[in-house]
Structure 1
Amino acid sequence: MSTLEDLRLRIKEIAENYEDEKTGGWITGDGPVPSDILFVGEAPGKTEVEKGKPFVGMAGETFEGYLNSIGVTRNNVRITNTCFFRPIKTKEGKTGRTTTSNRPPKTSEVKLFKEVLDDEIALVNPKIIVTLGNVPLKRLTEFKSIGECHGNLYFNEELQKYIFPMYHPSALTYNRNDEFKAMYEQDWLKLKEALKTL
């Protein structure tokens, strides 16, 4: 059985020896072990790497607000990622200034951490795994897109765990309409109900 320290060392080794694409630092999961609820995000961004914790940027604030809205606090849940380093792309502007931004992790980058995530799931032993966004959804279920399955409970036979797919909190930033927000809030209420049944 892996320990959290084993996982940290494996993440460090994979991240620091990866040379196929540019990356901007790495982090580990955060929160209690074991935990009844495990949230799985995509990959860390700039703020996450700076603070060494998942979901601490703008999307993290949104996430925590909704978490509290269903009576759960951050220190009661485990939060981790599908890819543990920050995938980045750099672009040179007309003035010669280089900007760095996040990019979604590639399938090959997600695969690098497959065993690490599986071992973390085994260690955390959650009653429910909540996937946030398409990257963890595709990694932990057969679904191709979040639109077809969000807000419903599924059982992953391989992991013997319940999976509850949700939109990534940053989706609220891109979909600034009342209809999407209402649907997103509804998913959190459905999660609250699902937690009562497990």
Structure 2
Amino acid sequence: MNTIENLRLRIKEITENYKDEEIGGWITGDGPIPCDILFVGEAPGKTEVEQGRPFVGMAGETFENYLNSIGQSRDKIRITNTCSFRPIKTKEGKTGRVTISNRTPKVSEIKLFKEILDDEIELVNPKLIITLGNIPLKRLTNFKSIGECHGQLYFNQELQRHVFPMYHPSALTYNRNDEFKSMYNKDWLKLKETLKTL
């Protein structure tokens, strides 16, 4: 039986039995079901795991501002991740201080959650899936890089769904130039127009 509670239990079981790499907690998707718009991110970070919701850190704030700018609100959309647990790496400094940081999920880790993401998509039944960043892009399309397809609408034959690839909101933190910001703003405006056609 495919329910949100069933997905939650499956995520919990996968996380508790995973021993290959360091991980730090897990979360489920957030938002109404069914829902017309589904955003798919990469994996949760520290703040997400602490609060039990996706996109609540700094990138989440950026995301919400853009969402509001196109007339959408967080309570009307659903957000989930390609990898439901937080992939981490620990590093010990010269003073012995240990720091924990996020790392990109491995292909094998993404595969662990393949059926869960597919089942969640089926449950949510969105008119549009928006991928945020390269990880969900590679998982839900045949593209290798966000640079070649962002801001365009594609159709996933296997899922029978429309997919709209976008840069991850955190990309704004790393690309502080005006050119990138202008392009990112345009992608949100394209998304706004795309939503009117679905």
Q: So what's the TM-score if we normalise by structure 2?
A: 1.00
Q: For 1:105-120, what aligned pairs fall within 5 Å after superposition? A: 105-120=105-120
Post-superposition shift, 1:99? 0.3
Over the matched positions of the two proteins, sequence identity in percent amounts to 81
What SS does structure 2 have at the residue aligned with 1:180? helix
User: Aligned partners of 2:77, 2:44: CA distance in 1, in Å?
Assistant: 17
Q: Secondary structure at the match of 1:116?
A: helix
Counterpart for residue 67 of structure 1:
67
Deviation above 4 Å: which 4+ runs of structure 1? none
1:39 aligns with 2:39: yes
Q: Any stretches of 5+ residues in structure 2 without a counterpart? A: none
Deviation at 1:34, TM superposition (A): 0.3
Superposition pairs of residues 8-157 of structure 1, within 5 angstroms: 8-157=8-157
**Matched position secondary structure for 1:121:** helix
Hey, what's the Cα distance between the residues in 2 that align with 1:86 and 1:171?
A: 19
Can you list the C-alpha shifts for 1:10-53, whole angstroms capped at 9, x where unaligned? Answer: 00000111000000000000000000000000000000000000
Distance 1:121 1:15 in 2: 20
Letter in 2 for 1:121: I
2:169 matched residue in structure 1: 169
User: What TM-score comes out, normalization by structure 1 length?
Assistant: 1.00
Deviation at 1:72, TM superposition (A): 0.1
Between the aligned partners of 1:78 and 1:153, the Cα distance in structure 2 is: 19
The secondary structure found in structure 2 opposite 1:100 is strand
SS in 1 for 2:71: coil
Identify the residue that residue 182 of structure 2 maps to in structure 1.
182
Say which SS state the counterpart of residue 79 (structure 2) adopts. strand
Deviation, structure 1 residue 89: 0.2
Aligned counterpart, 1:196: 196
SS at match of 1:179: helix
Q: Distance in 1 between matches of 2:126 and 2:168?
A: 20
Distance 2:95 2:39 in 1: 41
- Structure 1 residue runs of 5 or longer lacking an equivalent are none
Q: Distance in 2 between matches of 1:27 and 1:15?
A: 10
Partner Cα separation in structure 2 for residue 25 and residue 165 of structure 1:
27
Amino acid at match of 2:3: T
2:177 and 2:43 map into 1 onto residues whose CA distance is: 25
In 2, Cα distance between equivalents of 1:15 and 1:43 = 13
